[in-house]
Amino acid sequence: MIRVQRLGPQIGAEIRGVDVKTLDDASFAVIYRAWLEYNVVVVPGQELAIEDFLRYSRRFGVIHPHPSKSTRHPDHPEITLLGVNKFGPDGRLDAAIYRRGAEGWHTDGAYDAEPFKATQLYALAVPSRGGDTLFASMYAAYEALPQHLKNRLDGRKGVFTYGGRRKATALLNAEDRDWVPVRHPIIRTHPETGRKALYFDPGKILEIEGLEEEESDALIDELTGRMIQPEGEYRHRWRKGDIVIWDNRCSYHKAAGDYPPEEDRVHWRVSIKERQP
């Protein structure tokens, strides 16, 4: 019997009583509905081969390879390998790999014309301490905005690109670092729930369209300070065998980046859209 348990006040749910390898359509529909309601869904205790993970992930949409080619699985390029090859030939820790995802709150794929619908991770190895992933609700961020700011942002678009204003493209191959900026509404209506969210990523946004540079920068700084609402947070402590999927259309996330670097923290990751490339 499937059990859905809330994890955070507004975001996060855990699904018990399932083996994702054998889910029928009715059981998967329960998970999908919980995901839409809680934005982040944890399914613990799974034992998966790569094909099992890919098959289950495709039930949410179409898997797209991540732009970071160097971290793709050598035999399954749809999968990103997180946490492997942290140390270079000289034995030095590669901070870009160790701290990947910990640079700040963000949403995956804002640099694409069609951002990622979802991101899903499967935990292969977890450290003895640290290495959590933090999540926060875009719905809560929007609802907490003062009315004058909602009015000011209504209908306005942000200009996004990979690496944003800092040009943080270290994980991309040199030939992949020239991105054409894309535009997305800052106040985004979720296509399935109809709820409004503050769609924002301070690490990928270049400017807010229609504003002078100084005004745009000031508004970006203000929104960065308003993204995370305490009642809209959930912090996930990983266990081996956990699957976690989050909805990039209505949630932010970041890695804690605080686990012992000599220990393994390894995941398979897939990025999911609605349509084929």
CATH label of the domain that carries residue 228 = 3.60.130.10
Beta strands 233-236 and 182-185 are: unpaired
Average pLDDT across the chain, whole number: 93
123-172 residue pLDDT tens: 999 999 999 999 999 999 999 999 999 999 999 999 999 866 565 555 55
- Whether the per-residue pLDDT at 75 is higher than 60: the answer is yes
The percentage of the chain sitting over the pLDDT mark of 70, rounded to a whole number, equals 94
- Whether the per-residue pLDDT at 176 is higher than 70: the answer is no
| Res 96: pLDDT | 83
- Over residues 261-277, the mean pLDDT reads 91
Among left, alpha and beta (phi > 0; psi -120 to 50; other), residue 84 is: beta
Going by C-alpha positions, the residue among 250, 118, 110 that lies closest to residue 183 is: 110
Q: Work out how many domains the chain is built from and give that number.
A: 1
- Over residues 172-185, the mean pLDDT reads 73
Residue 109's φ and ψ, nearest 5 degrees, are 85, 15
Beta-bridge mates of residue 222: none
Alpha-carbon distance 22 to 37, whole Å?
23
Alpha-carbon distance 44 to 33, whole Å?
18
Alpha-carbon distance 51 to 48, whole Å?
8
Alpha-carbon distance 132 to 194, whole Å?
30
| Res 232: pLDDT | 97
What does the block give as tokens for 258? Answer: 């605080």
| Res 101: pLDDT | 86
What does the block give as tokens for 79? Answer: 């999968």
| Res 138: pLDDT | 98
Q: 10 Å Cβ neighbour count for 232?
A: 25
pTM, whole model, 2 decimals? 0.93
The percentage of the chain sitting over the pLDDT mark of 90, rounded to a whole number, equals 82
- Whether the per-residue pLDDT at 193 is higher than 80: the answer is yes
202-232 residue pLDDT tens: 999 999 999 999 999 999 999 999 999 999 9
- Whether the per-residue pLDDT at 201 is higher than 60: the answer is yes
Q: How confident is the model at residue 189 (pLDDT cuts 50, 70, 90)?
A: very high
Range of the domain at 62: 3-273
- Over residues 95-105, the mean pLDDT reads 87
What does the block give as tokens for 5? Answer: 């348990």
- Taking only Cα atoms into account, the Rg of the chain, rounded to an integer number of angstroms, comes to 18
Sorted by sequence, the CB contacts under 8 Å of residue 47 that are 6+ apart come out as 241
